[in-house]
Amino acid sequence: MTDQELVKRAFEMHRFSYVPYSHFPVGAALLTGDGRVFTGCNVENAAYGSTVCAERTALLKAVSEGCREGWTAIAIAGQGADFCWPCGACRQMLYEFAPDLRVLAARGDGQYAEARLSELLPHGFGPRSLE
Ligand SMILES: [Zn+2]
């Protein structure tokens, strides 16, 4: 799967976003080493703090289906003018399983930028920090 196809999968998830408060749909698509793709959308809640981001939804789907290793890239698609980089909580959650993950952050016009998670969360706290 190409990066562009992964970004497209992330955009396709906008249709499932539940965003009555922000009106800002976000989709995510997580690519694993064996070619599987776990998708997610943001799901908001009247108790705002209970909201779950699209990339964390994709992460939870992967882990809950037994896929914890070999993640190669995640695409995150927003509709704004800026690239949709993951929030701090999502960076931390992704770091647990794939500290050097490729992150593709897309904006509303379909363009995207790329960075490594290790760049987005330098000196991150992970499983090795507890050794
Ligand atoms: Zn987030």
Asked whether residue 129 is domain-assigned, the answer is: no
Neighbours of ion ligand 1 (CB under 5 A): 53, 87, 90
Asked whether residue 11 is domain-assigned, the answer is: yes
Asked whether residue 131 is domain-assigned, the answer is: no
Q: Total domain count for the chain?
A: 1
Which of 12, 55, 65, 96 is labelled catalytic?
55
pLDDT reported for residue 92: 98
Instruction: Reply yes or no on whether 55 is catalytic.
Output: yes
Asked whether residue 93 is domain-assigned, the answer is: yes
The CATH number of the domain holding residue 92 is 3.40.140.10
Sign of the Cα pseudo-torsion (93, 71, 73, 11, in order): negative
Look up the pTM and report it: 0.97
Asked whether residue 107 is domain-assigned, the answer is: yes
Asked whether residue 69 is domain-assigned, the answer is: yes
Q: Which two tokens stand for residue 90?
A: 């999502």
Give me ligand 1 centre to Cα 93, in Å: 9
Give me ligand 1 centre to Cα 45, in Å: 14
Asked whether residue 83 is domain-assigned, the answer is: yes
Give the whole-angstrom CA distance, residue 47 versus residue 9: 29
Domain span at 17: 3-117
pLDDT digits (tens, 9 = 90+) for 54-85: 999 999 999 999 999 999 999 999 999 999 99
pLDDT digits (tens, 9 = 90+) for 35-61: 999 999 999 999 999 999 999 999 999
Give me ligand 1 centre to Cα 90, in Å: 4
pLDDT digits (tens, 9 = 90+) for 18-37: 999 999 999 999 999 999 99
- Tell me if 117 sits within 8 A of 104, measured CB to CB: no
Asked whether residue 125 is domain-assigned, the answer is: no
Give me ligand 1 centre to Cα 52, in Å: 7
